[in-house]
Amino acid sequence: MSGAATAQAGAGLSQAEALARLRRDGPNELPQDRRRRLAPIVWEALREPMLQLLLAAGGIYLVLGNRAEALMLLGFAVLNVVMVVVQEARTETALAALRELAAPRALVWRDGAQSQIPARELVAGDVIRLSEGERVPADAVLQEAAALQADEALLTGESVPVRKQAGGGQAARAEPGGEATAYVWAGSLITGGSGVARVCATGPRTAIGRIGHALGGVEAAPPPLQTQMRRLVWLFAAAGIGASLLLTVAYGLLHGHWLQAVLGGITLAMATLPEEFPLVLTIFLVLGAWRMSRRHVLARRGAAIEALGTATLLCTDKTGTLTQNRMSVARLAVGAETLTLTPETSALPETFHALVETAILASRPDPFDPMEQAFHALGRRSLAGSGHLHAGWTMARDYPVQPDMLAMSQAWPGTAPGTYLIAAKGAPEAIADLCHLEEPALAALRRGVAEMAAAGLRVLAVARGAHAGPDWPASQHEFAFTLLGLAGLADPLRPGVPAAVAACRSAGIDVAMITGDHPATARAIAQQAGIAAGAVLTGAEMARLDDTALREAVRTTRLFARVLPEQKLRLVQAFAANGEVVAMTGDGVNDAPSLKAAHIGIAMGGRGTDVAREAAALVLLDDDFTSLVAAIRLGRRIDANLRKAFSYILAVHVPVAGMALIPVLLGWPLMLGPVHVVFLEMIIDPASSIVFEAEPEAASIMSAPPRRPGAPLFSLGLLAGGVLQGATVLAAAMLVFALGTQGGGDESTGRAMAFITLVAGNLGLVLSNKMLGGGALAAIGRPNTALAMVAAGAVLALGLTLWVPWLRALFGFPALPAGQMAVALLAGLASMALNMAALGLWQARRAR
């Protein structure tokens, strides 16, 4: 397609003209609300039960005539809304960044040069290239088509691919569906072939825009984590509302003060409602996905983030993932003569000219494949001016790689009219079959292949044939080929791969390599990467095994060679049947079934097709295995920090709820009012969401085995531990309250001292829950700027309530002497020390 493609490139728009049309027509996207506006965010905040309780308490204080306390509560309500807006804005910013990364892109000619641009920037008149596995970004008319087929099921409901052709098909009806049309439609999928097309409609003017369909992302069911969280929220909400109603009735009957009873009920409801749970989960998942995107991993589904913590097996391909995808021809072999090449090689002996020339003719004229690019690069360096480069030739026929023939052939016009030169390249065994080699020649070929493969080279064989006459055979096997030689291509290992594989092993995660390469090449690369280089299972051997036998074979096998994309599905199913939690990489159309079947499907962002990306849960934006391992590390961090945050939320609500409930049960005056609970919530909300989300991972996070599949994130042990931590702080606060009311003190003194203990104990709970999954000193030593800011703000706010007279009056506090403050503070610190010691002992026992 090279010559014609270049001609079409010259017909592309200039950048200036494209910008003018973009301003005139608008972006190439359907109307959608891409970002949430301020008003809906504020409205959702006002609908939150916690805020409504706060407003109700403020209204009751107004009825009671306590205007100052009412204004304080209403001010806290405004602050609560501001915090929600800030957190939502942060979430929306992260989501916008993720949308930009996930946005489709298009290969377009601008100013006569090819470039990749976001599909939303396409305009009418742009010339674009279409390739197998991509979604068509806009309605367009084909200028060229090479065996191009499109699946238009999104528009027509018909899943059978439609054949497309350039030129005469333009007379066909300009509607989706119908054979042999020259039109391709936005949203349809190129299932085969390639082409060049000129955009004729964008955005709402496309066929899919006119019929009102929305091109959204794949909608996924809520991950198990959300299901567990919702159950927990309903449990706590039901218990909190029930307890608050009982408290209201009991206090009213016992004391006869029904307004105070309602305030007490509201206080208890505010203390027990778990409004932080959904907030924390949303922030963790969205910001976690954003953090992954900064490590070049796009999380398309929230379930993938959770699943990363349970992965036991990573199945990765070789080229471009473990290696740099920068192929170069490193060795040539013609007969018994071999030649080692370097990047500086600029001339070749005549013996190797035909081999390189035919390898180029067996490659696409405008290649994307790194191996074909390597042949073209070698030809430009070494064959320039030799008469072996055929610029401007037009391909007459091609025979692509087939599952039963791992070789491709391309036909070019010969020197005599009606004759054709046939160039073929592919797996050495396939080329040997095409050449019908006798045993001596076949044995020599195998020796040459083994020598190159043992050096870690990817080996291709090259053959040449001829054809005369207008009738083309159905299969390339019917040509008479002559073997020209072998080419060994080097693709260096990515620098960080051995360390990343070692990190996986220490984390209890096996790594399997699945490649289409020769078994010896696979073994050599696996040894360099540190992957268990034992037995190699080939695709041909897999085909002879039934499902039971394959399950047994893959229990110990981690190297798979000469594997076809469609065989990956069988491997995923076999691994899963053996109890593995599988992460599988893929990039082609045929990889989509295996990516969907895997627990974590991972598509290549650079070389992957749109089909693979849509089927996958994760996308490696740089196609780098080390980025995948970094994502697993981040997934485990998110998993661990969610546990810490939920344990903290559970723990901190115990003393707050207890101090609202116990006085009623014991016949004491109310110890906490809504204003006190709101103050504590101003610490709890940012601590549970921002502080724990920003908590760095423990150094040992990749040394622990994966979380057991199916194990709940909120185990009974985690719930019990949270309750016990909170009970420790509650006991300290109640003890301090009792001390404050003795020796001439009153309930206001006890309330102030207990409140100091609660604030100190609250901050202590943050520190103690930082210990989960790591030692005390390591947890405290890990820097967390968000924690420092929250702690400083809490201490400053507490100081103001104790020393500013009008704030003391609002909170119902007297002026405390330094001794009583010290006692209250020490009690809070003692509860923190007790909790940290208990957690340390528990973790040491688990480690033993």
Active-site positions read 317
Q: Are 721 and 839 within 8 A, CB to CB?
A: yes
Question: Among residues 792, 812, 791, which one has the least CA distance to residue 801?
Answer: 812
Element (H, E) at 412: strand 407-413
Could you tell me which of 236, 330, 306, 327 has the C-alpha nearest to residue 276? 236
Q: At what angle do helices 67-102 and 49-64 cross, to 10 degrees?
A: 160
Q: Residue 553 to residues 191, 286, 316, 547: CA-CA distances in angstroms?
A: 33, 40, 18, 10
- DSSP H or E run through 176: none
- The structure tokens 């003018």 sit at 20
CA 720 from chain centre, in angstroms, equals 32
Q: What are phi and psi of 358, to 5 degrees?
A: -70, -35
| Ordered alpha helix ranges (H), 26-174 | 38-46, 49-64, 67-102, 153-156
Q: How far apart are the first and last CA of the chain?
A: 66
Q: Are 784 and 696 in contact, with CB atoms under 8 Å apart?
A: yes
Listed residue (258, 305, 312) closest to 508, CA to CA: 312
And the tokens for 786? Answer: 């968000």
Token pair, residue 497, equals 């791969």
> Three-state SS string across 332-392, please?
EEECCEEEECCCCCCCCCHHHHHHHHHHHHCCCCCCCCHHHHHHHHHHHHHCCCCCCCCCC
Q: Give bridge partners of residue 647 from the DSSP assignment.
A: none
- In the 8-state DSSP scheme, what is residue 223? P
Q: Give the C-alpha distances (Å, rounded to integers) separating 556 from 520, 534, 552, 738.
A: 18, 9, 8, 65
Q: Which two three-digit tokens encode residue 421? A: 């030169």
Is 533 exposed, middle or buried (CB count within 10 Å of its CB: 0-12, 13-18, 19+)? middle
For the record, the structure tokens of 521 come out as 């090449």
In one-letter notation, the amino acid at residue 632 is I
CA pair distance 456, 573, nearest whole angstrom: 29
Strand order in the sheet with 313-316: 297-299, 618-620, 600-604, 582-586, 313-316, 510-514, 559-561, 536-538
Q: In DSSP terms, which residues pair with 127 in a beta bridge?
A: 109, 198
Whole-angstrom distance, CA of residue 142 vs CA of residue 777: 66
DSSP string for residues in 724-792? HHHHHHHHHHHHHHHHHTSTT--HHHHHHHHHHHHHHHHHHHHHHHHTTTS-HHHHHHS--HHHHHHHH
DSSP alpha helix (H) spans, 607-624: 610-615
The residue assigned the tokens 């528009």 is: 155
d(CA 810, CA 804): 10
Q: Tell me how far apart the alpha carbons of residues 679 and 736 are, in angstroms, rounded to a whole number.
A: 19
Q: What DSSP designation does 164 have?
A: B
Give the pair of three-digit tokens for residue 254.
């016992």
Largest distance between two CA atoms of the chain: 117
